Amino acid sequence: MTASPRWRLAAVVWAAIIFVSGMLPTQGVVHAVSGGRDSTATTVAHFVVYALLGFLLGVALSGWEVRASSLVLGLVLAAALGGVIELVQGPLPYRDAQLADFLVDVVGAVVGLVVFSAVAPARRSRSHPG
């Protein structure tokens, strides 16, 4: 089963949102919203947005069919996005590149792909009764 174009579009749009937000000067907003707990807020945000990305990539690449190749490709794509963003942030005067952010991104993507792997068989059996 292949993914529908809407799931692929959702994954691409979400990746674009992650990239654009990673380039914006957001320190002031994060500080105002987090009440001075910037590190915790950004760590949670990295985890959540990449968990959703991992899930979306799982569906977009395999259409609710759990395949190892799709899971690996989804992880590689999510990690590449996180890595590129951190590299681009390095020279920006209003951002900073952090290995910890990249590692949280990867862990989030893994969790998203694991959730996809757990949900996909039930979703698939419900939509394709035997």
In angstroms, the CA 45 to CA 51 distance is 10
Q: What is the pLDDT of residue 4?
A: 83
- List, for residues 51-106, the tens digit of each pLDDT value: 999 999 999 999 999 999 999 999 999 999 999 999 999 999 988 899 999 999 99
Contact (Cβ atoms closer than 8 angstroms) between residue 52 and residue 112: yes
Q: What is the pLDDT of residue 15?
A: 98
Counted domains in the chain: 1
- List, for residues 32-52, the tens digit of each pLDDT value: 777 766 788 889 999 999 999
State the Rg of the chain over Cα: 16
In angstroms, the CA 83 to CA 125 distance is 36
Mean pLDDT of 9-36: 88
Residue 63's domain comprises 5-127
| Predicted model pTM | 0.89
Quickly tell me which residue has 């979703």 as its tokens: 123
Q: What is the pLDDT of residue 127?
A: 66
The 10 Å Cβ neighbour count of residue 26 is: 15
